A and B are shown apart, each in its own frame.
Chain A
Amino acid sequence: MGDETTKPTKAPYLLIAPSWAALGILFLLPLLVMFIISFGMRGTYGGLKPIDDLWAYILSGDFLANYKRSLEPLYWPIYWRSFWMATVTTVLCLLISYPIAYYIAIVAPARWKNLLLALVVIPFWTSFLIRTYAWMLILRTEGLINTVLMEGGLIDKPLDLLYNEFAVMIGLVYGELPFMILPLYASLEKLDLTLLEASSDLGAKHVSTFWRVTLPLTMPGVVAGVVLVFIPSIGQFVVSDLLGGAKSMLVGNLIQNQFAVARHRPFGSAIAFELTAVVLLLLFAYAWWAKKRGQEAML
């Protein structure tokens, strides 16, 4: 953004101070407090139990109790499900999104482009809750699909489409899809088409042009999309709460449960912090990858 004033001045600090205060007090400090509390013990009413002798508490190793508990085999299926569902969501989003991003960026007539892009952006910003709810109308026992199939005489009794992992999967892909299309579009839009021409002129079939020119050049978009879909998917709890059943609990539900139902904030904080650590690791890996490629990160 080029133009920076040369004289040192107080102005930038006056301008940025409110943001520092707001983000410091309402974002960084809460994360720090949550981190500290994750080492604590639950008191009555889900609060924090006061610690009499801090030194003894640390030496006894009790401060790691919440983390130890979070690693018990009881919770493994939840972590595993969160991981594979986020992974499958990411892969499905990528497979669905690349062709449409390619279409909007390269194939579609120029005058349609803004409209086509806007149609992706709109669901991106509208209520995730309501868009998830819409799937309940479609999938539930008295829902659209079952009604149509029953009326058509194709089935005798309604199919169990809702409250299972299949429904959660649909909800995740549906919700996260725009997060994949947009970065892919941004990458494809920047693609220098003369390179594709050159590849074609040199005799490459278009399939190999795609694998050897187009895809490698749009990798920044692919990786950004993967990060942007994977992170919200792994922290999701609304979709699994509304569309999933008892057996489709994700790590997000586990955390939410500790705060809303079980009233065990220290334990909830510990899992939330572990989730944060995973997310930050992913972001660092992404930043490292972008730097290695010598590109400005897209996020």
Chain B
Amino acid sequence: MLTPEPATRAASAPESVETTPAFVGPRAPAPRGAAPFPWERRLLGIHSALVYLFLYAPIAILIVFSFNAARQTARWEGFTVQWYARLMENTLILKALKNSLIVAGVTTVVATIIGTLAALALARYSFRGKGATQATLFLPIIIPEIVFGAALVTFFGAIQLRLSIWTVILSHIAFSISYVAIVVRARLAGFDRSLEEAAMDLGAGPVQTFFRVTLPVILPGVIAGALLVFTISIDDYVVSSFVAGVGATTLPLQIYSMIKVGVTPEVNAVSSLLLLATVVMIVVSQRLQQEPGKGESRR
């Protein structure tokens, strides 16, 4: 259950801390045997700082360049927002943005519903084929995207489904369900079922119980999963590049074809905006996953 829920694991970290005796303290800064010398800790700190620099410097450079007046060179020739202004006039980019929003929007709604239902089934019940279902849910995440894209375009070709924006949406739904199922399931793991039983005892039907009790409690997980799917869908290049029909160019596809022609400040601007939008969604998603369930704390 690894990649898609690092924050969930971070949230569950205190459990493992409790196994260390109290006198060590929760994560004492320098446990003997772990990194005993200050210089070692400093070295680890410096290394980590350099890795963060490596991870973020290219992104920062991209954003800075998007405000650079210079068209061709990396020399700083003054601050400008003209590249952003030009995006608003670029019909290709606006059309691609519209396509991307449609694809990501429909994908998010459909995949979130299907994935949440799957999470409920997996967390609550044992049923035939549960193990196989779990394994199959992981495959779309782990299998190289290129295989996914190649298989889908072959399949669409075989059933003679013409490539369009709908084939993009179908493909995105296919790889998105898994992410929702995993995130929501993690949320359900800490769910107090006595709340539902209480609601049932008080005369609520299963549907009413779900909408009035279950859903409000797991909602942060559902929203976190939805945001994640929206981000993955709007960022997807590989699978879309295989299954997008004429006129179904999404934003990453448009950016890619612009990059292949040449580096331009407009690409920097549109990339910076897309990056910013997805980072905001990811941060919100992570926060929602991290917070301990309100249903739990009310116990």
Query: A interface vs B, CB < 8 Å?
Result: 1, 3-5, 9, 11-13, 15-16, 18-20, 22-23, 26-31, 33-34, 37, 47-48, 96-97, 99-100, 102-104, 106-110, 113-114, 116-131, 133-138, 140, 142-144, 146-148, 151, 174, 177-179, 182-183, 185-186, 189-190, 192-194, 196-201, 204, 206, 209, 213-214, 224, 228, 231-232, 234-238, 242, 252, 255-256, 259-260, 265, 268-269, 272, 275-276, 279, 283, 298-299
Contact = CB atoms under 8 A, between A and B. Distances in A.
Most chain B CB inside 10 Å of its own CB: which residue of A117, A135, A151: A117
B152 interface: yes
A235 B144 contact: yes
A86 B32 CA distance: 37
B261 interface: no
Please classify the interface of chain B as helix (H, G, I), strand (E, B), loop, or mixed, using the class held by over half of its residues: helix
Contacts of A269: 150, 154
B146 interface: yes
Please classify the interface of chain A as helix (H, G, I), strand (E, B), loop, or mixed, using the class held by over half of its residues: helix
B129 to A, nearest CB: 8
Contact of B133 (A19, A97, A204, A232): A19
Nearest to A221: B2
Contacts, number: 337
Interface residues of B, number: 113
Contacts of A19: 114-115, 117-118, 121, 133, 137, 177, 181
24 contacts: A11-B125, A15-B117, A15-B118, A16-B117, A18-B117, A19-B133, A23-B136, A26-B174, A29-B155, A34-B155, A48-B158, A99-B48, A103-B47, A126-B282, A130-B274, A131-B59, A133-B259, A134-B58, A134-B61, A134-B271, A192-B20, A228-B2, A232-B144, A299-B2
B253 to A, nearest CB: 10
Given A33-B158, A190-B16, A272 B147 contact: yes
